[in-house]
Amino acid sequence: MRLSRYFLPVLKENPSEAQIVSHRLMLRAGMIKQSSAGIYSWLPLGFKVLRKIENIVHEEQARAGHHAMLMPTIQSADLWRESGRYDAYGEEMLRIKDRGGRDMLFTPTAEELITDIFRAHVSSYKDLPLTMYQIQWKFRDEIRPRFGVMRGREFLMKDGYNFDLTKEDALHAYNRHLVSYLRTYERMGLRAIPMRADSGPIGGDDTHEFLVLADTGESEVFYDSAVTDLTFGDREIDYDSVEQCAAIMEEFTSKYARTDETHDEALFGEVPEERRRTARGIEVGQIFYFGTKYSEAMGATVQGPDGKNVPVHMGSHGIGVSRLLGAIIEASHDDNGIIWPEGVTPFHAGIVNLKQGDAEADAACEALYASLTALGLEPLYDDRNERAGGKFATMDLIGLPWRITVGPRGLKNGVVELTSRRTGESEEMPPEQAVERIRDIYAGHKHGQHVEMMANRSFHTYI
């Protein structure tokens, strides 16, 4: 992409309505624009990152054996009356009437609709286990939408639902989700810690939230500092293996880590004092096992091996896809702007031309642009007629992890400059070498950036 042709409405001033850094930077970097309280348009740069995050979620869901699907945002109230949640959900649910006076609603979550699909089509235990998920917009009429995409009213969520014959099978599905979420967040450059939580309006006893530690987080959390040393890395695991998933679940959840809703002072007191931490966190996902709550209420049964009909055991599993942009920025920025982790960066590298119009500099930039593009990478070339300082400020603000700076002086010696956004370190090298370095960084990137780029094509060919 050439910046002169891109739509990147950056703001020089700090927007006064933004209280936290991620909201401020998303507005300043021209990623989002508020349309009404807690409802945002996604401008090209923000939308690109949103799609990258979605792609990682899709890939990791596929790896765990879950099936992608899509359900409507507007649903009939009737199903919600069956489960008893139409009244129970309260003011957060946006209720609508259609022209025939029928009660409709904008989905805040989709347990009822998926259970209705299940009961219409599945009647035997032989079709289990089954997990389906979607990435779809949700609406919750939050009392206090704030912090930009962090607590929106309209927000993008991955919601997945498992159907199993027995409680044991459903608990395996729960563990499998936990494992796949660990991997999902790490690919986004995040450390999200599973913490025992409260189930709220979804219901059930077993639930963990995934929290990214940040001072601006809305949740108060208590944990044993040993949990922050755990990483999933690029372990190969068999998601069908009950033992492997249970072992990872045990490894990541046996140490004390709880949100304030489930915090237990006495238990916390058993953690060695020097490892006891109280902090704030951003909830980027939550998994639930709620057994037969919905299947019993809505008659979702299967015939078991003994010929008897039994309600299926279920759970639901959410990832805050749009909230993740805010969480990643809270975890990765400096005074000059965003610092995107390689896994989610909107462009792989920026090219800054220090002297637009200089024949040699222009040609070198064009050559870099063509070489990176030919490798399947997406560069952002700042080809505007602007001062170098302004170009650097824009690149720093929008946070591309790598920048190649090209100027007549360097070119006289046959070199360009490669700069890391994270460390600020620069190195001079011939242009071909800079291209190779960027190629290697993304090829060697954790969990296979190559696979991710292939998926970009298959999932979102319309971009």
Kindly list the residues in this chain that would bind ligand 5CA in the complex (CB under 6 A). Answer: 109, 140, 142, 151-152, 155, 157, 159, 202, 283-286, 316-318, 320, 322-323
CA 39 to chain centre: 18
- Residue 406 to residues 164, 277, 415, 416, Cα–Cα distance (Å): 58, 47, 8, 5
* Residue 353 and residue 381 in contact, taking contact as beta carbons nearer than 8 Å: yes
Least distance (Å) from ligand 5CA to the CB of residue 427?
39
Least distance (Å) from ligand 5CA to the CB of residue 9?
23
Tell me whether strands 402-406 and 349-353 are parallel, antiparallel or unpaired.
parallel
Of 287 and 372, CB closest to ligand 5CA:
287
Gap between the Cα atoms of 365 and 395, Å rounded? 16
Of 300 and 380, CB closest to ligand 5CA:
300
Closest CA to 50 of 457, 443, 456, 348: 456
Gap between the Cα atoms of 425 and 15, Å rounded? 30
Least distance (Å) from ligand 5CA to the CB of residue 248?
20
Of 194 and 401, CB closest to ligand 5CA:
194
Least distance (Å) from ligand 5CA to the CB of residue 254?
22
Roughly what angle, to the nearest 10 degrees, separates helices 44-63 and 321-331? Answer: 110
> In 398-460, where do the E strands start and end?
402-406, 416-420, 426-429
Of 61 and 286, CB closest to ligand 5CA:
286
* Phi-psi group of 448: left, alpha or beta (phi > 0 → left; psi -120 to 50 → alpha; rest → beta): left
Least distance (Å) from ligand 5CA to the CB of residue 385?
40
For residue 47, what is the DSSP state? H
One-letter-per-residue 3-state SS of 332-385: CEECCEECCCCCCCCCCEEEEECCCCCHHHHHHHHHHHHHHHHCCCCEEEECCC
Least distance (Å) from ligand 5CA to the CB of residue 111?
6
Q: State which H helix or E strand residue 412 sits in.
A: helix 408-412
Of 202 and 368, CB closest to ligand 5CA:
202
Of 158 and 348, CB closest to ligand 5CA:
158
Greatest extent of the chain over all pairs of C-alpha atoms, in Å: 82
Which SS3 state, helix, strand or coil, does residue 316 take? strand
Least distance (Å) from ligand 5CA to the CB of residue 174?
12
Of 152 and 291, CB closest to ligand 5CA:
152
Of 210 and 256, CB closest to ligand 5CA:
210
Gap between the Cα atoms of 283 and 261, Å rounded? 13
Gap between the Cα atoms of 182 and 202, Å rounded? 22
Least distance (Å) from ligand 5CA to the CB of residue 8?
24
Least distance (Å) from ligand 5CA to the CB of residue 25?
17
Of 30 and 148, CB closest to ligand 5CA:
148
Least distance (Å) from ligand 5CA to the CB of residue 152?
4
Of 21 and 321, CB closest to ligand 5CA:
321
Of 66 and 317, CB closest to ligand 5CA:
317
Residues 6+ apart with CB under 8 A from 100: none
For residue 215, which amino acid is it? D
How is residue 257 written in tokens?
């880590």
Residue at shortest CB range from ligand 5CA: 320
Gap between the Cα atoms of 107 and 114, Å rounded? 12
* Residue 304 and residue 198 in contact, taking contact as beta carbons nearer than 8 Å: no
Least distance (Å) from ligand 5CA to the CB of residue 339?
22
Gap between the Cα atoms of 456 and 439, Å rounded? 17
Least distance (Å) from ligand 5CA to the CB of residue 163?
14
Roughly what angle, to the nearest 10 degrees, separates helices 449-459 and 431-443? Answer: 80
How is residue 427 written in tokens?
């190195």
* Residue 67 and residue 133 in contact, taking contact as beta carbons nearer than 8 Å: yes
Of 106 and 347, CB closest to ligand 5CA:
106
